[in-house]
Chains A and B, each alone.
Chain A
Amino acid sequence: MTDPILAVRDLHVQIATRRGTVRAVDGVSLEVASGEALGLVGESGSGKSMTLRAILGVLPAEARVTSGEILLDGVNLVPLGNTDLNRIRGPKMSMIFQEPMSALNPVMRVGRQIAEGPQVHLGYNKARAAQRALELMRRVGIPDPERRFRAYPHEFSGGMRQRVMIAIALSCDPEIILCDEPTTALDVTIQDQILRLLAQLCRESGVSLIFVTHDLPVVAQVCQRVAVMYGGELVERGEVREVLLDPRHPYTLGLVRSAPDFEYVRESLVPIPGSPPSLISPPSGCRFHPRCEFAEEDCRVSATPLRPLPGGRSTACLHYERCQEAAAADRVRR
């Protein structure tokens, strides 16, 4: 792999609540190469969104990064203040949100919202920024941009709004775009259009993506590599095909089993038993052990750091061979 654009090392994010400190992100390490799309999957509350918001430095007031490094082009972002971060957010990295309606300012014309970044970061004057906005709107496939420039977000359909969000994210030519479930709020046909658009932009302009989702087929469509998060930790990481087809962690296996399979419509999906762990007092040892069918005594006590496996992938599971056997058995059954 070439030098990573973004490297997250041992990131910890804690949220102070009345009931205790939530360890929302607990020692996550990621690397994203130039032009690469990394999927970050996991169920709700596994710390995916918090990881993204920590990278951008837009954590909610109660949350903070307690340790770890976020290196963008070798510069650690964690100690930087807002003034310094504002030179990076926009021109170097940007974000696409889940709900395009609420992530667009309802009382500002969309053209102006797209043009704002270039005006602030690239020093464009109003006319040139507007020109840039029109060009971006054309690039993300908004028809009739001259007329749409002056429209408000409520006049757009869901898919068009998400295209506007993508145009805003692209407006200052960032090196990496963080996507927080960008297609969850859209119906499947629009979802497909948006995913194709993102994959195409990724190919054409060499921008890197971190793609947070809980939808495995979406990861398979857009990403080259995937990292699986559970209870604030990474449990498995590797090439998308390898991880999804041959999981080496029981949680990933559970995710694959609980996703509807288009080709083999099974009689019933297999849900993961139990519920996500409390991140105020997480289970000892492997955080997945209370829900794991392969759990043994050592899973309850030993620490489970991400360990490299042959083939450039890693897993946090102590008994990944069993998971491998179960996955193989699944394949045979099909």
Chain B
Amino acid sequence: MSLSGEQFIVPGGSALADLEVLPADRAAQPRQARRWYRQPALMAGIVIMGLIIATALSAPLLASYNPIALNLNATLLGPSSHHLLGTDQLGRDIFARLLYGLRLDLAVGCLAVLFPFTLGTILGSLAGYFGGWVDIVIMRLVDIVVAFPFYVLVIALVFVLGPGVRSIIIAITLVGWVSYARIIRGEILVAKRQDYVVAAQSGGLSSLRIMGRHLLPNVITQAIIYAMSDIVQDILAIVTLGYFGLGVPPPTPDLGSMINDGQNFLTTHWQLTTIPGLAVVVVGLGLSLIGDGLADLIRPGQS
């Protein structure tokens, strides 16, 4: 037996060190093991979306053409060093239109998630916390909205309100809030029976404070996870509305209207439709990856 003393000391010493870890540090360890950069899906999504957002934001620097300037001497050109992705039937630079279109669609998409998220969270909290007639009124509203297919109602609303960014956001807000309201209401129904809520009530805190400071921070993660998948749906909805001519009025570039414009030239100039279509696919992929990764990160043990 020629084992050196060190070999005994090292494992023993480290075991002792583990035992001395404070409760605070021990609780923090599993969190560290799930660091966000260890999630391949989340990481890939962040890289994709980071690139897209960076390009979209720097559109004025990257695009050397005005996206709405016509040049009827240079219509339907193929890709070249002058026009990276060619030009459309009115001689507009496709690369410039793509970047500005992405910029608009992403911005509208974010707003179109933020508003239903806020509205749905507020109404869902009220319904879940107060119950009674408040709950009945809000949930019947939810039932009415849910009875219609998403696109039918959004298109009908945009049709009534008239095309444009504002109507799109209003329409998606009026239709999209129901999902958030349902999620938050369900979570609050469970959470409001917890002792900490009764404790907050017996501390004389107002209902508003209990909802905002005590309940929402405990239940909001579910809504955030849903928002990540919802934003994909909303961007698709915006593109779809643009395709139907209910989006942003021309000549402002928008991926949906670009796909629609290129449709007439599909057999001869397929890139007019394919390029904005691919852009939508890549954006959807990036956001979905972020959503999945985030869900895994926030809901450990369920992945």
B252 within 8 Å of A (CB atoms): no
Please tell me which stretch of A83-91, A206-214, A221-229, A301-309 contacts chain B, meaning at least 4 of its Cβ atoms lie within 8 angstroms of it.
Answer: A83-91
Q: List B contacts of A90 (CB < 8 A).
A: 203-205
Which of A53, A106, A121, A157 touches B196 (beta carbons < 8 Å)? A106
- B203 near A103: Cβ-Cβ < 8 Å: no
Q: List B contacts of A165 (CB < 8 A).
A: 199
- B199 near A155: Cβ-Cβ < 8 Å: no
A66 within 8 Å of B (CB atoms): no
- B195 near A97: Cβ-Cβ < 8 Å: yes
A168 within 8 Å of B (CB atoms): yes
Counting chain A CB atoms within 10 Å of each CB, which of B193, B201, B206, B209 scores highest? B201
A70 within 8 Å of B (CB atoms): no
- A120 near B196: Cβ-Cβ < 8 Å: no
Which of B23, B198, B202, B203 touches A157 (beta carbons < 8 Å)? B23
Q: How far is the CA of A172 from the CA of B218 in the complex (A)?
A: 25
Closest to A156 in B: B23
A-facing residues in B95-125 (Cβ within 8 Å)? none
B38 within 8 Å of A (CB atoms): no
A162 within 8 Å of B (CB atoms): no
Minimum distance in angstroms from A167 CB to a CB of chain B: 12
A-facing residues in B145-166 (Cβ within 8 Å)? none
A-facing residues in B191-217 (Cβ within 8 Å)? 193-196, 198-207, 209, 213-214, 217
- Tell me whether A61 and B195 are in contact in the complex, defined as CB-CB below 8 angstroms, given that A108-B214, A120-B209 are known contacts: no
Closest to B192 in A: A61
Q: List A contacts of B24 (CB < 8 A).
A: 151, 155
B-facing residues in A55-97 (Cβ within 8 Å)? 56, 58, 60-61, 82, 85-91, 94-95, 97
B251 within 8 Å of A (CB atoms): no
B-facing residues in A103-142 (Cβ within 8 Å)? 103-108, 116-117, 120-121
Total chain B interface residues with beta-carbon distance under 8 A: 23
Q: List A contacts of B218 (CB < 8 A).
A: 105-107
Closest to A56 in B: B202
Q: How far is the CA of A108 from the CA of B201 in the complex (A)?
A: 16
Closest to B200 in A: A105
B33 within 8 Å of A (CB atoms): no
A-facing residues in B1-49 (Cβ within 8 Å)? 23-24, 27
Q: How far is the CA of A53 from the CA of B27 in the complex (A)?
A: 33
Could you mark each residue 146-187 of chain A with 1 if its beta carbon is under 8 Å from any beta carbon of chain B, else 0?
Answer: 000001001111000000010010001000001000000000
Q: How far is the CA of A60 from the CA of B193 in the complex (A)?
A: 8
A99 within 8 Å of B (CB atoms): yes
Q: How far is the CA of A61 from the CA of B201 in the complex (A)?
A: 13
Q: How far is the CA of A117 from the CA of B214 in the complex (A)?
A: 13
Q: List B contacts of A120 (CB < 8 A).
A: 204-206, 209
- A155 near B198: Cβ-Cβ < 8 Å: no
B131 within 8 Å of A (CB atoms): yes
Q: List A contacts of B217 (CB < 8 A).
A: 105, 107-108
Minimum distance in angstroms from A43 CB to a CB of chain B: 21
- A155 near B23: Cβ-Cβ < 8 Å: yes
Q: How far is the CA of A95 from the CA of B205 in the complex (A)?
A: 13
- Tell me whether A86 and B214 are in contact in the complex, defined as CB-CB below 8 angstroms, given that A97-B195, A104-B196, A155-B27 are known contacts: no
Q: List A contacts of B209 (CB < 8 A).
A: 120
A268 within 8 Å of B (CB atoms): no
Q: How far is the CA of A104 from the CA of B218 in the complex (A)?
A: 12
Closest to B215 in A: A105
Which of B23, B201, B204 touches A87 (beta carbons < 8 Å)? B204
- Tell me whether A86 and B205 are in contact in the complex, defined as CB-CB below 8 angstroms, given that A107-B217, A108-B217 are known contacts: yes
Q: List B contacts of A107 (CB < 8 A).
A: 217-218
Q: List B contacts of A99 (CB < 8 A).
A: 195
Q: List B contacts of A168 (CB < 8 A).
A: 199, 203
Q: How far is the CA of A108 from the CA of B200 in the complex (A)?
A: 12
Minimum distance in angstroms from A242 CB to a CB of chain B: 32
Q: How far is the CA of A156 from the CA of B201 in the complex (A)?
A: 23
Q: List A contacts of B213 (CB < 8 A).
A: 108, 116
Minimum distance in angstroms from A35 CB to a CB of chain B: 21
A102 within 8 Å of B (CB atoms): yes
Minimum distance in angstroms from A86 CB to a CB of chain B: 4
Q: List A contacts of B202 (CB < 8 A).
A: 56, 58, 89, 94-95, 178
- Tell me whether A105 and B214 are in contact in the complex, defined as CB-CB below 8 angstroms, given that A58-B198, A97-B199 are known contacts: yes
Minimum distance in angstroms from B193 CB to a CB of chain A: 8
Q: List A contacts of B201 (CB < 8 A).
A: 56, 58, 89
Minimum distance in angstroms from A303 CB to a CB of chain B: 34
B-facing residues in A227-277 (Cβ within 8 Å)? none
Minimum distance in angstroms from B214 CB to a CB of chain A: 5
- B205 near A102: Cβ-Cβ < 8 Å: no
Q: List A contacts of B193 (CB < 8 A).
A: 60
Q: How far is the CA of A329 from the CA of B196 in the complex (A)?
A: 47
Closest to B209 in A: A120
Minimum distance in angstroms from A49 CB to a CB of chain B: 11
Counting chain A CB atoms within 10 Å of each CB, which of B199, B205, B209, B213 scores highest? B199
- Tell me whether A103 and B204 are in contact in the complex, defined as CB-CB below 8 angstroms, given that A120-B209, A151-B24, A157-B23 are known contacts: no
17 of the cross-chain contacts (CB-CB < 8 Å) are: A58-B198, A58-B201, A86-B206, A90-B203, A90-B204, A95-B199, A97-B198, A99-B195, A103-B196, A104-B199, A108-B214, A116-B203, A116-B213, A117-B203, A117-B204, A156-B23, A172-B204
Q: Can you name 14 extra interface pairs (CB under 8 A) apart from A86-B204, A117-B204, A151-B24? A: A58-B198, A61-B131, A82-B207, A86-B206, A90-B204, A95-B202, A102-B196, A104-B199, A105-B218, A108-B213, A108-B217, A120-B204, A154-B27, A155-B27
Top 6 closest A-B pairs, CB basis?
A90-B204, A89-B204, A103-B195, A102-B195, A155-B24, A95-B202
